[in-house]
Structure 1
């Protein structure tokens, strides 16, 4: 088989795969622009497109509140993970103290425990501290991650010790060394960690479903599930409008930070 034939087959398969992956998204957006009478037609593109469905979900539901809740949770957890995981990774990588290896092994062991097994301890802790059905209950499981500590520790080890010692000789304190010297050296890794953390918290469903009771503080995935199974169960045009809005921030993050996502995946794989 010639090289040109192989390339043709490869591109054909890639195009077919792309169409298969993109088609559900196109159908979702198309349905969100249809009227109730046009939803069950087989046409991909609506004959009379309307944005009224998007207005209805904000007027008739708590969708706007759910959107704000998701933004708050995703942004706060991302900032927390970026700071604390980087700080802990720096300390483990660059300081010598008793029990460092044991602590690092304990952190790594959390990566081996499925999230489903942590749900009951999380819920019991939330009940004891009064965090059920509030923002704290949503936030605390994601404020630090074992993966982030491990990732940042690996990158911090690549910073030359001589560079840090030179900063100490110049009179910088340890926190300033971390903030002004170490962080700029590992910024690509921090960017990748922030992207992955934001995406995972934006899409989180199981824990918010369990810890939340009031509709006012639902996140988008939980709110959308109740939205689809409640009074709007058969109104697919409204459900698809909600799903489209839910997906928009992820698409925006991807297009704005595409270079960092690709670089982050590459760096993570290398480490």
Structure 2
């Protein structure tokens, strides 16, 4: 019988392979995967075949490429429905988008990174990195900093240790010291800004979504460009954004929003 430790290792390898296939954002060949895989060819091939047989991956016999499978789409839809803020926040984001007319983002933290779970485009759409389903850095995005600022000390330290601090633009806060100072200001102010820290010309104001117990469960942002508006004009939207964030939080609590487990689940007998 397979031991729990062996099973855990197998699952971890399979998830790693899925993440690797997904990272290419296109069909990918075995040799391409091998170039960056931590596993030898035999192990990687076995993982690919297992994931293919379970519907997690598909294989194109003509092009000899692997792609994410339709089973993952079903699982992603279930996760979006059960664990994402998106279904709860949809009507609130719709109203906010109609009122403001700029790009609206809804995000949650995922392993110390930003997961964009929903988006409303501006009346005049702007090309930018963020899309629903994409993962971005927390330390240099408005929604990321808004969420980091309100994490408990222990969780915050773990999240800070996981940031890359890569300098995307001249405005990126590329050290833990500068980011920590910024987070202190965000806590005092109640909301965050993106001052062209992730993409040149892209600015935003971001509001954390906090429960009554002050647990951060997400963030919303209004994003635009330096050619269209200014941070001062975006800051004027803070009261409207706070109202929207509070409404999302209240609705989510009534909806029994999943609480992260703080301790190990008991082992089955």
TM-score calculated relative to the size of structure 2: 0.24
Larger Rg: 1
Highest RCO, 1 vs 2 (Cα 8 Å, sep ≥ 6) = 1
Compare the two structures and name the one with the higher strand fraction: 2
